[in-house]
Amino acid sequence: MSAWLEGKVIDYDKANVHIMTHSLQYGSGIFEGIRVYDTVNGPAIFRLGDHMRRFLNSAKIYSMKLNYGIEELQEACIELVRANGLSSGYIRPFAFYHDTRIGVSTEGKGVSVFIAVLPFGDYFGDKHASGVACKISSWQRINSEILPVEAKASGNYLNSIIASNEARSVGFDEAILTSGNGYVAEGPGENIFLVKNGRLVTPGVSADILMGVTRDSIIKIAKGAGIEVEERAVHKEELLTADEVFFAGTAAEITHIRKVESVVLNGGAVGPITKMLAQKYGDAARGRDEKFMDWLTFV
């Protein structure tokens, strides 16, 4: 396997950094997750431009001075997929402070950019098809008074890790975090949707969520299919009375939630709207829907 580090394609195993690197000590990196899908026209990167724009926005928020613009970063991803000969997989761009000095300040510390491309299957393994059981976490989602939630930053995911660990320690597959005001926010690495009376409902920006690229894709697909979409505050108990609930994210794709706390939803089976949206999302990502071909960057 090959990786991209500071403008060069190198052997994956040689893409090393010092153990005292600032971002390893303090979680000061930023990253993205991007899927590559196998299509009838060859490998295609899903919404590459949108992911890279968010990557650069994360850098702006943390005042990280990257030496590469969006075109260079996109070309690096394309080059790396070709170099590894993958028809599908997962791209991980990562920017980090490579300085080894002790101290939290990033002033005067240099930034490196790394990109990896790896084979990648279902994030939840065999639970992707059968659905996941979720615990509403006792840990709240971070908010913008604490950390900038719109940055996809490494340190933010400590919040995700502790919530996910809590859920798994008591027999659940994943957590659902709430915002500081008690409304539903998101999963540790996924946005969340629920279906009620034929309408699609998802927490809005005020819930301190990361504005996911997959989330945006689902909203656009649903509206195109004539489904009413509400972006609003969601009470916890709405999850328990919903007809369907599902996660959406680059890694998780569309994964239905069969159980929230002790409540089994739709008899544990994937609901009709979740199933339809998963099919349409898969069609869009794999080049089977002409309406969304502009979401694909062919390699």
Q: Which residues are catalytic?
A: 152
Q: Of the candidates 214, 215, 265, which has an alpha carbon nearest to the alpha carbon of residue 239?
A: 265
Asked if residue 156 lies in contact with residue 192, where contact means CB atoms within 8 angstroms, the answer is no
Half-sphere exposure of 39 (CA within 13 A, CB side): 24
Helix (H) or strand (E) holding 230: strand 229-231
Whole-number Å distance between alpha carbons of 281 and 268: 22
- CA–CA separation, 29 vs 21, rounded Å? 10
Largest CA distance in the chain: 57
To the nearest 10 degrees (0 to 180), the angle between helices 213-224 and 48-61 is 140
